[in-house]
Structure 1
Amino acid sequence: MNSLVPLMIVAAASLAAGPASPPLPAAIENAEAVPVRTVYRVKQQGGGLGIFIDEAAVFYEIGKAPNTVWVLERRRRDQKMGLVSVRHEWVDGRTCPALAETIGKIARLPPVSMAGLDTTPKTAYSDSSDVTLMGPAAGGASSDFALRRDTMGPTARWWWDAQKALEPCWAPRQPYLNGAYSLRSRLSSAQDEVEVMRP
């Protein structure tokens, strides 16, 4: 009878702990490598009245059409009244439809033209941040590159709307995708951020 006591205690402890969590999906060993491309990059910087934001984000396209997956990584530093917080987070497009919607809106941003001698900008904003978006140019060669930056303009509003839509999707761990061997953080440190944000 005494030999059954330890078994009864173990069984009781297992029941108290509840059902075990389902196992994570196993990695596929020697999975075929899939391409990973850095497509878009976003930089937000600025502020005022005791608030300052320094944020970088990288959009990765993984795989080949029609089975591509989008992943977003960001490193954000907020300073509010002298208190500093840093967030390094990821969004997995497989579980966050808002990521594809955010990317889809890039093509609908109004075109940008360069100011001429008689169209010098006269508006200046304070207490706000600049938002820069970098990525491939529409309709050009694969090597063409476009950069747009504004304060309180369409680029900034696009990113602010994106942040609201993506807020429930951020997670601290990098998503796992079989075969995406070259998917690695480009924003692990401030120096990494400087490198990846170069035009």
Structure 2
Amino acid sequence: MVKHMGVLALALGFAAFGALPTAAQPQLSPPPLFASDFYRVRVQEHGYGRTERVILFRRLQRDVENGSHWLIERRERLSELGAAPATSYAWIDSRDCDEVGVALGRLDTLPSLSVRGPASLATPFSIPPSHQPVVTFEAAPASQGGSPVRLSIEDSTGPVARWWFESQEAVKPCWREGGAVLDGKVVSPGLPEIEAWRD
């Protein structure tokens, strides 16, 4: 009887001071914020099959004092004759790949874009089909006459295509497979799945 009274008194004592303390729960950090600036490269290749790659450069809003910090994502879809399409996802943290900064810096050296009016157009001529890869480059931090614009260029053999193919080789060792992780936090992909070939 005395033993049961002691247990009851101990329980009442804990009740008076509240529940037993529990271990502190870790606080979930919010995902990193990205600026509106971006570059997107889309590459289409024809051959015995079709290959499409989409590469997205997104700049993080923080770390301004330490220089630009970019997340680069790549989705790839390979469609070979007689085989099911194969897809993949990879990413790069620019802090771990100096070649990313070099590639982005070279954008400032590309020739300026000019638009020709009808008066300066040459006599129309036909262009034979080419199996050269087609590079489509989009940029949000572009401007025309001081006004911000969104730029899109399609190129196969010009300066934009050469810039990408040279940059692609330079950053090749930096790609990581699997989901992107920045500072221990999983980042939601900025690129949707490539569901089908788009002509």
1: CA distance between counterparts of 2:116 and 2:129?
Answer: 18
Unaligned runs of 5+ in 1: 1-27, 195-199
| 8 Å CA contact 2:31, 2:185 repeated in 1 | yes
| 8 Å CA contact 1:93, 1:99 repeated in 2 | yes
Give 1:59's aligned amino acid.
Answer: F
Let me know the Cα RMSD of the aligned residues: 3.1
* Structure ID, larger Rg: 2
Whose strand fraction is larger, Structure 1's or Structure 2's? Answer: 2
Query: 3-state SS of the aligned residue for 2:188?
Result: coil
1:3-14 alignment to 2 at 5 Å? none
1:39-54 alignment to 2 at 5 Å? 39-48=38-47, 50-54=48-52
Match among 166, 186, 191 for residue 187 of structure 1: 191
Relative to structure 1, is the Cα distance of residues 172 and 157 closer, same or farther in structure 2, using a 3 angstrom cutoff? Answer: same
| 8 Å CA contact 2:53, 2:74 repeated in 1 | yes
Of residues 158-167 and 169-178 in structure 1, the stretch that sits farther from structure 2 once superposed is 169-178
2: CA distance between counterparts of 1:57 and 1:41?
Answer: 6
Relative to structure 1, is the Cα distance of residues 152 and 30 closer, same or farther in structure 2, using a 3 angstrom cutoff? Answer: same
Query: What's 1:157 paired with?
Result: 162
| 8 Å CA contact 1:130, 1:150 repeated in 2 | yes
Following superposition, the deviation at residue 44 of structure 1 comes to 1.1
Structure 1 length as normaliser, TM-score? 0.68
Structure 2 length as normaliser, TM-score? 0.68
| 8 Å CA contact 1:131, 1:156 repeated in 2 | yes
How many pairs align?
A: 164
Give 1:90's aligned amino acid.
Answer: W
List 4+ stretches of structure 1 deviating above 3 A. Answer: 28-34, 79-85, 120-125, 138-141, 178-181
Unaligned runs of 5+ in 2: 1-25
